[in-house]
Structures are given as structure tokens and as C-alpha cells.
């Protein structure tokens, strides 16, 4: 795991108001990712292990703050980083890893090798130089770098974004420069070609929090970034299954009380939101105006090779990797595009959309279930992606695939002046993930009435178009919303068996 150096903004160097963070350099804290090593955890030990994993994230956030507070001293004496940041962090991590080991040993075999994951170091993140070269603005156009004013402030160049930890100009690309790249599997004769749509609004209710009840149940601010919520109106870190089942829903069909959530998108325009001075918000580098989606389409589609079976009630799915900037792209599943160009999907760039075109985020969720578990230790191994032909791995059965499409009416940022004219935009992220587009991720908890879920399955398997709002949804990736699901970005061929550090 890595954490980019920042410090609280002062009156002289603030780019977004009190309480927000600002990067002082490209230094990072690099620690091994513990969650990826915990693919098997005894069922009874999971609550304790989940809380300890959340504690590791909190320790990184606190170390991130100490690094910023000590930045000037570290510049004069690099040894201060060990004394003030790394040594205390490693001591905290060692104690936490001991607690994880004890919790697992109590319910099963003692895990080996966790103690070695306490070691951390300070290194260069590379983000300071992650900007267009030779005077280009990131859109292939000549122009000024816009890497900050005379006071050294970054506004979209080297360490851009109003909070200073991203995004940067190199995180954006002109969608018109991207070649069509969506690949669809050829459907078999007995493919399930139906479509079921649930209409649940765009979070016009303004339901937000920085929790994640899937990855960090019982832990406030477990995500360290803000989420949009639609559907279930009671979703937070402390929601029990019974509370989710009894909650109100924003979905038009009241039989869908499922929870759908994702990191908010923000404009880097200096607006102070409700979380500007809070953990998960401005204190952790998530700053700027939260953009309400223009449209959200929730479409459940079939399988190219055969019929689908019902999702089990309270099935939990996280797609994508909220820490992919550190963990690498193996479990990333981000997909960015523009309306009118959705046959061109970006995995690690934000799109620059032409005038009249809107930004689109698409999540193609895993659609192969192990037939037994509604969750797993790393919140991934109970689900898998189908392969390029639409086949599920051995032992997995196809279930309806959630395709979640979120549209935003935001203009292409002005990269030549670092977003001063038209602001940069980015998703919220863990502080060390620098708001990279590849860290995008989506979360889903199935709280459909069982009768409505069976109606969905029958509809999909019979090739019909059903559900509230069916026929009203926007363009799906590549065109017709009734076409077969696309292969997951990056191939989706890991069988869902890689560990994810979710958000």
C-alpha cells in the first residue's frame, strides 16, 4: 500500500479551503497489502479480521498525515521519515497482524507469514512526473503545462487536483483518439438474451457516507472516501441483514431493496462540501463539488452460453479494485467512456468528451456464483467473471449480470491551464490511490424479494425485456441495451479468484 505525502493547506497554499489536503511531493509510504494474502479466513473469525484490516487502512491514513506534518523536517533530514512515520506505523501494523493471527488461530489453523507484512518504506510515487511531455496537454494538443503558479501550487499538472493528490493531466485522454475496443462473446443457441431493468434514481436524496458495509462492516469511515447510494436507504457500516431487508428503497419497484453504491465523482472547483473537514472527505484528500449523476441505469442481463439461476438473497459483490494503483491491475474493472462513443472503453484514463457528450462510468459485475456463499474472506472468491466466450469457471453457475451505467453532465477539463478554466474531475479514492481512474469500483448487495428475483430470472431466460424502466435506459457499452454482456475489461479471465482490496 502507498500513501502520497500531504499536509493541511494553509492560507498561503490552500487550493480548496480549510481542512483540505495538499501534496507536498511525490513521496509515498509503501506497505504490503495484507488483504490479498487472506484468501481463506474461518467464518467465525471474519468479523474480527475485517475490523483489523480496516485498522490497517486507518493506520496508513494516520501515517499519511504524519508524513505531511513532518514534510519540512524530512526534506532537511530524510531520517525523520523513519522516526516520525515508518517506525510507529510498523509497530502498529505488527500489533494488528498479531491480532489477526490470533483471531484466525482461535478458529482454525495458524496463518503463516503475516508478521513479515508489517514492513513499510518511504519511496517515490512517480506521480510528480506523471504529466504530458513536450508541452502537450494530455489531449495530444500543444499548450502550457499548467503545473501550478509561482507559489508552487499544482493545479492539475504534476500533482494536480485541488487537494493536491490528483488527478493529474496524464489521467485524461480524448475519447475520439481511442479506437473501438468492446468485444462481445458470440451467443450460443440457448443463450439467455433477456433484460431486466430496475430504476432506482440518481441519489437525488443525497445519501452519502464513507463506510463500506461489505469490506469493513461495523467500522465507521471504513472506505476513507465518500460513496453515492441508491436503492436501499439504510446502508451504512452498521447495517444488519434484517435492517437492510426492512429499509426503504429509492427503487420504483419496491421489491428491489438492494444496495447499489460507488465512489462519488467530484469537480476540482474549490467547492466545500459537507465532508470538507471530515475523515473520508477533505481531510483525506477527497475535495470538491460532488456531482449528482444525470442518469443511472441498472440492467441485469443473461449469459451467452445458457440460462441463469437466481442470485441468493443478500449476495454481496464488489467489482473492481479500489487500490489498484498500488495493487496493480489484476482485479481492476474500471470502464470509462462518453455517450455516443461507448464502443470505446477506457480502463485507466478519464475520458475527455466532445461538446454535447456526457461522461459514462460502466460497471460489468461478476456474473458467476460458486453456488454456496453470499460472501467470502476477500469479498471476491465466491464470485467470478465469465471467460471471453461467456463460460463460467468450473464449479460456478451463471447468475444475472448487473451492468451499472452512470452518466454525468460534466465538461472536458481544460488541461492546458490545469483545470483553472474548466475544472478537473475525479472519483473519490483512498488517500494513497491519488484518484486514479483505474481505482474505480462498484458495490452491490442483493435485497430483491425472492419472487421478484425469480421474475427477473424467468424474464432473462425467456429472452424478454422486463422491469420498471425497461426500454427507457440509455445506451449500453457498444450499443443496444439488449445485447449480450461484454467481457470484463482486462479480459476478466482471472476467474474471480484473485484477492481484491475493496473499497
In this model, does residue 147 exceed pLDDT 80? no
Residue that is written with C-alpha cell 454456496 in the block = 372
Query: Cis link prior to 242 (omega < 30° from 0)?
Result: no
More confident residue, 23 or 237: 237
CA 329 – CA 355 distance, rounded (Å): 31
Q: Tens of pLDDT along 330-387?
A: 999 999 999 999 999 999 999 999 999 999 999 999 999 999 999 998 899 999 999 9
In this model, does residue 160 exceed pLDDT 80? no
Per-residue pLDDT band for 487 (boundaries 50, 70, 90) equals very low
pLDDT of residue 434: 84
More confident residue, 122 or 445: 445
% of residues, the chain, pLDDT over 70: 80
- The three cell numbers locating residue 178: 481511442
Per-residue pLDDT band for 491 (boundaries 50, 70, 90) equals very low
CA 143 – CA 156 distance, rounded (Å): 14
Q: Tens of pLDDT along 248-274?
A: 999 999 999 999 999 999 999 999 999
- The three cell numbers locating residue 275: 465532508
How much is the mean pLDDT over the chain? 83
Nearest CA to 449 among 146, 232, 140, 124? Answer: 232
Helix (H, G, I), strand (E, B) or coil at 171: helix
In this model, does residue 499 exceed pLDDT 80? no
More confident residue, 196 or 120: 196
Beta-strand runs (E) in 133-194: 172-174
In this model, does residue 152 exceed pLDDT 50? no
% of residues, the chain, pLDDT over 90: 62
More confident residue, 479 or 171: 171
Beta-strand runs (E) in 239-393: 259-263, 265-267, 289-290, 295-301, 316-320, 336-338, 350-352, 359-364, 368-369, 383-384
Per-residue pLDDT band for 62 (boundaries 50, 70, 90) equals confident
Question: What would the mean pLDDT of 413-434 be, rounded to a whole number?
Answer: 92
Question: What would the mean pLDDT of 73-87 be, rounded to a whole number?
Answer: 88
In this model, does residue 465 exceed pLDDT 60? yes
Query: Cis link prior to 167 (omega < 30° from 0)?
Result: yes
Lowest-pLDDT range, 318-322, 386-390, 482-486? 482-486
In this model, does residue 202 exceed pLDDT 70? yes
Helix (H, G, I), strand (E, B) or coil at 329: helix
What is the pTM (predicted TM-score) of this model?
Answer: 0.82
pLDDT of residue 8: 29
Rounded alpha-carbon distances, angstroms, from residue 484 to 146, 349, 370, 403? 43, 25, 22, 11
Answer whether 434's CB lies under 8 Å from 409's CB. Answer: no
Return the exposure string of 206-219: e unless at least 16 CB atoms fall within 10 Å of the residue's CB, then b. ebbbbbbbbbbbeb
More confident residue, 128 or 447: 447
Lowest-pLDDT range, 156-165, 195-204, 228-237, 447-456? 156-165
pLDDT of residue 76: 86
Q: Tens of pLDDT along 305-337?
A: 999 999 999 999 999 999 888 788 999 999 999
In this model, does residue 498 exceed pLDDT 90? no
pLDDT of residue 248: 98
Lowest-pLDDT range, 20-29, 244-253, 456-465? 20-29
In this model, does residue 159 exceed pLDDT 70? no
Amino acid at each position: 500500500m502507498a500513501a502520497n505525502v500531504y499536509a493541511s493547506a494553509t492560507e498561503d497554499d490552500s487550493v480548496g479551503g480549510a481542512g483540505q489536503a495538499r501534496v507536498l511531493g511525490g513521496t509515498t509510504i509503501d506497505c504490503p497489502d495484507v488483504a490479498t494474502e487472506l484468501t481463506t479466513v474461518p467464518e467465525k473469525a471474519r468479523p474480527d479480521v475485517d475490523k483489523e484490516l480496516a485498522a490497517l487502512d486507518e493506520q496508513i491514513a494516520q501515517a499519511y498525515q504524519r508524513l505531511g506534518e513532518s514534510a519540512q523536517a524530512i526534506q532537511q533530514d530524510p531520517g525523520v521519515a523513519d522516526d516520525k512515520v515508518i517506525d510507529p506505523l510498523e509497530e502498529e501494523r505488527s500489533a494488528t497482524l498479531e491480532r489477526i493471527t490470533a483471531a484466525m488461530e482461535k478458529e482454525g489453523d495458524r496463518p503463516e507469514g503475516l508478521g513479515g507484512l508489517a514492513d513499510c518504506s518511504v519511496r517515490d510515487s512517480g506521480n510528480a512526473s506523471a504529466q504530458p511531455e513536450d508541452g502537450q496537454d494530455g489531449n495530444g494538443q500543444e499548450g502550457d503545462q499548467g503545473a501550478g503558479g509561482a507559489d508552487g501550487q499544482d493545479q492539475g499538472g504534476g500533482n494536480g487536483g485541488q487537494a493536491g493528490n490528483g488527478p493529474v493531466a496524464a489521467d485524461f485522454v480524448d475519447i475520439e483518439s481511442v479506437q473501438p475496443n468492446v468485444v462481445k462473446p458470440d451467443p450460443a443457441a440457448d443463450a439467455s438474451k433477456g433484460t431486466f431493468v430496475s430504476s432506482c434514481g440518481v441519489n437525488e436524496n443525497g445519501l452519502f457516507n464513507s463506510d463500506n458495509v461489505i469490506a469493513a462492516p461495523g467500522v465507521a469511515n471504513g472506505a476513507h472516501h465518500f460513496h453515492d447510494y441508491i436503492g436501499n436507504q439504510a446502508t451504512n457500516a452498521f447495517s444488519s441483514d434484517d435492517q437492510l431487508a426492512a429499509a426503504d428503497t429509492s427503487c420504483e419497484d419496491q421489491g428491489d431493496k438492494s444496495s447499489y453504491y460507488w465512489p462519488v465523482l467530484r469537480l476540482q472547483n474549490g467547492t466545500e462540501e459537507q465532508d470538507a473537514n471530515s475523515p473520508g472527505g477533505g481531510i483525506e484528500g477527497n475535495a470538491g463539488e460532488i456531482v449528482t449523476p444525470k442518469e443511472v441505469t441498472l440492467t441485469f442481463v443473461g449469459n451467452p452460453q445458457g440460462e441463469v439461476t437466481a442470485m441468493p438473497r443478500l449476495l454481496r459483490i464488489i467489482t473492481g479494485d479500489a487500490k489498484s494503483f498500488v495493487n496493480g491491475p489484476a482485479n481492476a474493472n474500471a470502464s470509462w467512456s462518453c455517450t455516443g462513443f461507448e464502443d470505446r472503453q477506457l480502463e485507466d484514463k478519464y475520458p475527455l468528451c466532445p461538446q454535447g457528450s456526457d461522461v459514462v462510468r460502466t460497471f460489468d459485475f461478476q456474473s458467476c456464483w460458486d453456488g454456496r456463499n453470499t460472501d467470502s474472506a476477500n469479498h471476491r472468491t465466491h464470485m467470478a467473471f465469465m471467460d471471453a466466450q461467456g463460460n463460467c469457471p468450473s464449479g460456478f453457475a451463471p447468475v444475472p449480470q448487473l451492468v451499472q451505467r452512470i452518466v454525468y453532465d460534466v465538461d472536458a477539463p481544460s488541461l492546458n491551464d490545469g483545470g483553472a478554466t474548466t475544472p478537473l474531475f475525479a472519483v473519490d479514492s483512498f488517500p494513497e490511490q491519488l484518484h486514479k481512474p483505474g481505482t474505480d469500483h462498484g458495490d452491490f448487495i442483493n435485497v430483491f424479494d425472492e419472487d421478484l428475483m425469480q421474475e427477473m430470472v424467468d424474464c432473462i431466460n425467456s429472452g424478454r425485456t422486463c422491469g420498471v424502466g425497461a426500454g427507457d435506459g440509455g445506451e449500453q457499452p457498444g450499443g443496444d441495451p439488449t445485447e449480450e454482456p461484454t467481457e470484463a475489461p482486462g479480459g476478466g479471465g482471472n476467474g474471480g479468484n484473485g484477492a481484491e482490496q475493496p473499497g
